[in-house]
Amino acid sequence: MRRDIFQAIADPTRRSIITLIALQAMTPNAIAEHFDSTRQAISKHLRILTECELVKQEYRGREIYYQLEVKKMKEIDKWLDQFRKIWETSFNQLDKVLLTMKKQKR
C-alpha cells in the first residue's frame, strides 16, 4: 500500500522521529526511549515513514538503524517552495502597505 507522504508527516510523533534521526541514524529502541509510547507504536510509525521513503533502514550486524532519507525531504521542500514564494510576495506587499500607512499618519 502506498502511503501519502503528507499524511505521514501530519502526525506529531512521526515529525519528532524525523527530527530525532535527522542528525544521526538510530535503532528503534534508541528512538523509542525518547517517547512515552510503546516500542510497538514507534515501530508502526517507523514502518509508515519507511513506506513513504522518508526514512531508510540500514543493517549493521543484527541491528537496524533508521536514518533520514534526505532526497525525499528535498522533494517535500521543492513542493513547499512554490507556496513559500507566494507567502513571501504577500508579506512583501503587506510590508509596503503598512509602510505607506505609517508614512500617511505622520
Q: Does domain 1-68 have CATH number 1.10.1740.10?
A: no
Question: How many CB atoms sit inside 10 A of residue 80's CB?
Answer: 11
Q: Given this model, what pLDDT does residue 85 score?
A: 86
Where in the chain are the domains?
A: 1-68, 70-106
Question: How many CB atoms sit inside 10 A of residue 92's CB?
Answer: 10
Q: Given this model, what pLDDT does residue 106 score?
A: 76
Q: What is the pLDDT of residues 38-95, one digit of tens each?
A: 999 999 999 999 999 999 999 999 999 999 998 888 888 888 888 888 888 888 889 8
Contact of 17 with 31, CB cutoff 8 Å: yes
Q: Given this model, what pLDDT does residue 74 score?
A: 86
Packed helices 39-51 and 12-21: angle between N→C axes, nearest 10 degrees:
80
C-alpha cell at 28: 528503534
